[in-house]
Structure 1
Amino acid sequence: MSQDKDGFEASMARLREIVEKLEGGDLPLEEGVTLFREGVALARSCRERLDKARNEVTILADGVLRDFAPEDGDA
């Protein structure tokens, strides 16, 4: 799990770097498009990791293990 967490944290850090560079607005078009594509791939990967983690979380309720189901507005 630590490796997944480290990978997630590194991906999020890289995504923040990309956003900052793109928001700067002073990149050549080709570099901006390349960074945008990398950012989309990172965002998708992070979302998949979060979805996987959410599905793996279980809660103990009334003595029964159940899959985690977020309440409305928590997703």
Structure 2
Amino acid sequence: MSEQPETIAQLSFEAALKRLEEIVRTLEGGEASLDASIELYEEGERLKQQCEARLQAAQARIEKIQFGRDGRPAGIAPFDGG
């Protein structure tokens, strides 16, 4: 039922998010036993961490264009999420 951590690490962001959504639906629907719910919750936590790590990695790669006083592009700088 639950994914192994190394398998989760190999999932794309989209696949991990889709699986996380499936887990949430299952838990919200009350379709799983207590033991299965605990396993699903733990898998969901690992998936959440994987998604957050992928988002942080993507954010670190994003660059923003800096404009000079004349309004023309003057270079790039690291993305500042704040």
Distance across 2 between alignment mates of 1:22 and 1:59: 40
Q: Which residue of 1 aligns with 2:75?
A: 64
Q: CA deviation at 1:56?
A: 0.6
**Structure in which a larger fraction of residues adopt helix:** 1
Q: Which runs of 4+ in 1 moved over 4 A?
A: none
**CA offsets 1:3-39 (integer angstroms, 9 cap, x no match):** xxx7111111100000000001232111000000000
Establish whether residue 13 from structure 1 lines up as the match of residue 12 from structure 2: no
Q: Which residue of 2 aligns with 1:32?
A: 37
Establish whether residue 23 from structure 1 lines up as the match of residue 23 from structure 2: no
TM-score (norm 1): 0.81
Distance across 2 between alignment mates of 1:69 and 1:26: 42
TM-score (norm 2): 0.74
Alignment RMSD (CA, Å): 1.3
Higher-Rg member (1/2) = 2
Q: Percent identity?
A: 33
Aligned length: 66
